[in-house]
Amino acid sequence: MKTVNIGELKNQLSGYLQYVKNGEEVVIRDRSVPVARILPFRHGAGWDEEAQLVASGALKMPEEEIDWSQFFLAPAGNVSQEIAVEVAIDSRGDR
């Protein structure tokens, strides 16, 4: 996931759209406050594959939408791998 402030996004839009085309998400910030996301467009086949994975029990869909305002309250800088893994596991909930 990439993050970008509005001014840089305006100047480098083509570059950030290339990230999205490559499957990455771009979070847009207004004065360092997240305000929007650009997500890759998902074609119909992807949805069918997800549905099959859910039906087989190999994939569990999120139970609720992520609260991005809380997500970005973490201090600026990189998050350690241990914390990232812990958050990812916690976000799955009880299976």
- Tens digits of residue pLDDT in 67-84: 777 777 766 667 777 887
For 17-61, the pLDDT digits (tens) are: 999 988 889 999 998 899 999 988 765 556 777 778 888 988 887
| Per-residue CA distances from 18 to 5, 13, 37 (Å) | 17, 9, 14
* 27 neighbors 3 (Cβ within 8 angstroms): yes
Q: How far is C-alpha 93 from the chain's CA centre? A: 18
